Amino acid sequence: MKLVTMAHGGGGTRMQELLSQTVFPLLGGSATDAEDAAVLDLEAGRVAFTTDSFVVRPLFFPGGDIGKLAVCGTVNDLAMRGAKPLYLSLGLIIEEGLPFETLEQALTSVAEWAGRAGVRVVAGDTKVVERGKADGLFINTAGVGVVPEGRDVSITGARKGDALIINGYIGDHGVAVMTEREGFRFESGVVSDCAPLNVLTEAMFAAGKVGAMRDATRGGLGAVLKEMAAASGAAIEIEEGSLPIRDGVRAVCELLGFDPLYIANEGKLVASVPSGDENAVLEAMRSVEEGRDSVTIGRVIDGKPGEVVMVTKLGSRRLIRMPSGEQLPRIC
Amino acid sequence: MKLVTMAHGGGGTRMQELLSQTVFPLLGGSATDAEDAAVLDLEAGRVAFTTDSFVVRPLFFPGGDIGKLAVCGTVNDLAMRGAKPLYLSLGLIIEEGLPFETLEQALTSVAEWAGRAGVRVVAGDTKVVERGKADGLFINTAGVGVVPEGRDVSITGARKGDALIINGYIGDHGVAVMTEREGFRFESGVVSDCAPLNVLTEAMFAAGKVGAMRDATRGGLGAVLKEMAAASGAAIEIEEGSLPIRDGVRAVCELLGFDPLYIANEGKLVASVPSGDENAVLEAMRSVEEGRDSVTIGRVIDGKPGEVVMVTKLGSRRLIRMPSGEQLPRIC
C-alpha cells in the first residue's frame, strides 16, 4: 500500500509527483496549472469570500466524506450570502502515513461535488506533517462567488412577521457521523444530509424576498436561530411540532441524551421570509431536490431581541439557549 | 493558564466567546462581523485567488512566527501573479490544550502583518481537535487580490536573454527555523527573511517588464529555478559566485550537509526581466526595504528547455536538479 511520506510535502520531485499524478488528474487540472495563485475573470457584481477547515472524524461516513463536506460547506457559506459560488481553493494537511488510496478517495469526492455544485477548484496547497501530528487528513476550502446586483442577504435581515423556513429534516449529519465513529451496534439508518444548497437558494431568490439566511451547521438549528435573533435584533418563536426530525435521529438522541435542536446539519438552511412571499418561496424550495421537505417552523415575533422560544408539543414555552459546549466534536 | 478546549470549537457560547473576546478584538473585527462569508466591493480588474496552509514548527522562531508566515505567504503568492493583495481569510485548526496566550500571540502577529501588507482579514473559521490530533496550531490563509489591467505575470514567462534577479540573501528562513527547532548549541545569528513582498513587486512593475516571477519558498531557489525553466520551456544559467548567502547560513549548511540552494525562503522572489529593463528594475528593487540586496544571479540562455546550470566558483558547470525529498520539513 502506497503511503504519503514527509517528502511528499517538501516542494521537490515527490511533491510534484503527488500533484501531477494524484491531485491534478483527480481534480481535472494539469501539472502546468501549477501557479501559486489563480487569476480569474469574474462577471460583474460584488464578490463573496469565505473559508472553512474540515477536521471530521471519521473521514468517511454514511452519506458523505471529508471531501464532499469541504466542497458543500464552503459552497453553502457563499450561497447563504446570496452569492453564486464559482471558485474554490483546496488546502490539504496530510498526516504522514496516510494511504494514497484514502487521499484519492477524498479528492475524487471533492471533484465530484465541485462538479455537481458548479464550482471549480483553482488553487491549492499540500502540507505533510509527521505521524501523530495530525489525524489523517484535514482539508481547508476557501470560496469565491459573485453576488448579483440587488441581493442583500445576511444573518441580520430577519424582520417581525417573517416566516422561518427550513428545507427539511434536522440532525441527520451529526447523528450519521457519530454513529459511524462510535461504531454503534444498532443501525440508525441515518445518512448525512451533506449537500450543496446553491441550486436551492437560487430558486428561493427567484421566487421571493429572503431576509436572513444561514446554514445550520455546528451548533445545529438552535445555535443558528439564536444567532439570527441576536444579529437581527429580533425575537423568534418556533413550534416543536413542526420540526422535521427523522425517527432514527430521534431514537439516537433519546438513547444518548442529545437534543436534535443542537445537532449539526450540512445541508440545511433556515431563512426568514416576509409572510407575503412565504408560499411562493416554499413552493419554489419544494420543487428542488434539496428543498423537497421544506416547511415553516416558526415566525419572527414581537419580543425581546435575541430571544428564541419554542412552543412545545404540550403547549408550554421553552426558552432556547445557545449551546455552551460541544455535544459532538469533529462532525465537520 | 487559560487553555483552548474542545468546546471552543463547538459552535456554541464558548466558540462565540473565543471569537468575540480573542479573535475579533485582535484582528480588528467585531462580533457583529460574524457572517459566514464576506461580501466585498472590488475595484475593476481580474481577480487573483490563492491558498496556503502553515504547519511550521516551532510556532515562533527568530524573525517570525506562524501568524506572520500565514499573512506573508499568501500575500506573496498573490503578488507573484501581479496582483495587489486585498483580502485574506483565516482558518485556524487548534490542538486542544493550546494556551490562549500562544493563540493570542499568533493572532496579534497576523493583525500586525496584515496591516503592514495592507490587507484585511475578512473571513475566518476555527476548529479544535483533540490533544495529540494536531500540533498546537495550524493556520490556513486564502487570499484575494486584483490584477491591474495589462499585467500578465506567471511562472511561464521567462524568455531567452532575460536577467534572473533575486531580491537578497537565500536560506535565511529555513536555517532560522531549523536552528530554533533543533535547539542548536551554536548561535547562527540567522533570522528568517519572512516579509510581504507586494511593495517590492509594485516597484518592479512600475520600473519595467517582469516576465516570470515566483517566490522561492519550499524547495528553495533551486526548485523555483527548475520550475521556471520547465514551465517557460527555457534553459537557465546562474553564477554560484553571485548568489547572496550569509556566513551564518553557509556555516550551518556546511556543518549539517545542506545545500543553501534548496533551503526555504519566505521573503525572496526570483524574477526574469528582459535585459533592457534589468538596470531600471534592479534600481527600483534596491529602493525598497525588501529589495535592498537585489542582484542579478544569472540569465535565461539558449539550451535544453527545463535545464538549470550553475557555473561554480571554480568555473565548472553543475546541473541543478529538483530536490527529491524534504531537507527541512515543516518550515512553513
Please indicate, yes or no, whether residues A124 and A203 belong to a single structural domain of this protein. Answer: no
Q: Does B40 touch chain A (CB under 8 A)?
A: yes
- Domain count for chain A: 2
B325 touches chain A (CB under 8 A): yes
Residue A30 has pLDDT above 70, yes or no: no
Residue of A nearest to B326 (CA): A10
| Residue A79: Cβ within 10 Å count | 31
Judge if pTM exceeds 0.90: yes
Q: Are residues B25 and B108 in the same domain?
A: yes
- B154 lies in a domain? no
Residue B199 domain boundaries:
163-320
More confident residue, A10 or A107: A107
pLDDT for A271-322, tens place per residue?
999 999 999 999 999 999 999 999 999 999 999 999 999 999 999 999 999 9
Q: Which of B40, B135, B140 sits opposite A47 (nearest CB)?
A: B40
pLDDT of the residue at A43: 76
Q: Is the pLDDT of residue A33 over 80?
A: no
In this structure, is residue A329 part of a structural domain?
no
User: How do residues A200-212 score in pLDDT, each as one tens digit?
Assistant: 999 999 999 999 9
Look at residue A118 and tell me whether its pLDDT is greater than 80.
Answer: yes
Average pLDDT, chain B: 94
Assign B307 a pLDDT band (cuts: 50, 70, 90): very high
Do B185 and B61 fall within a single domain?
no
The whole-angstrom separation of Cα A23 and Cα A25 is 6
Taking CA atoms, B16 is separated from A298, B12, B86, B169, in Å, by 25, 6, 26, 44
Residues of chain B above pLDDT 90, percent = 85
CATH code of the domain covering residue B127? 3.30.1330.10
> Which residues in chain A (255-314) have CB-CB distances under 8 A to chain B?
262, 264
| A255, containing H or E segment | helix A247-256
Of A16, A77, A144, the CB nearest to B144: A144
Confidence band (pLDDT; 50, 70, 90) for A31?
very low
- In a domain, residue B332? The reply is no
B51 to chain A, any CB pair closer than 8 A? The answer is: yes
Q: Is residue A328 part of a domain?
A: no
Which one of B37, B123, B218 has the shortest CB-CB distance to A80?
B37
In a domain, A42, yes or no: yes
Of B267, B270, B205, which Cα lies nearest the Cα of B236?
B270
Q: Where are the beta strands (DSSP E) in chain B?
A: 38-40, 46-54, 60-61, 64-65, 84-95, 120-129, 137-147, 163-166, 213-215, 235-239, 269-273, 295-301, 308-311, 317-320
Q: Do B49 and A144 touch (CB under 8 A)?
A: yes
pLDDT category of residue B32 using cuts at 50, 70 and 90: very low
Regarding whether B303 and B236 lie in a shared domain, the answer is yes
DSSP assignment of B179-223, as one string? Answer: HHHHT-SS-----------HHHHHHHHHHS---BEEE--TTHHHH
Co-location of B311 and B266 in the same domain: yes
B86 to chain A: closest CA residue: A49
Which residues 139-178 of chain A have a CB within 8 Å of chain B? 140, 142-145, 147, 154-156
E strand or H helix at A273, and its extent? Answer: strand A269-273
Contact with chain A for residue B49, Cβ under 8 A: yes
Per the domain annotation, does A330 fall within a domain? no
Q: Give the CATH number for residue B311.
A: 3.90.650.10
Pick among B30, B51, B129 to test the A interface (most A CBs inside 10 A) = B51
Flag whether pLDDT at B30 surpasses 60.
Answer: no
Average pLDDT (B108-127) is 96
What is the model's pLDDT at position B10?
A: 86
Split at pLDDT 50, 70, 90, the class of A45 is confident
**Between chains, do B39 and A46 touch, taking CB under 8 Å as contact?**
yes
Q: Which residue has the cell 487553555?
A: B3
A331 pLDDT exceeds 60? yes
- Which of B11, B40, B135 lies closest to A46 in CB terms? B40
Domain's final residue, options B147, B179, B196: B147
Lowest mean pLDDT among A61-65, A232-236, B40-44: B40-44
Chain A residues near residue B37 by CB distance under 8 angstroms: 48-50, 77-78, 80-81, 83, 143, 145
Average pLDDT over residues A67-73: 98
| pLDDT for B326 | 66
Instruction: With a cut of 90, say whether residue A325 has pLDDT above it.
Output: no
Closest CA to B170 of B120, B240, B86, B244: B244
Q: Is A58 on the interface with B (CB under 8 A)?
A: no
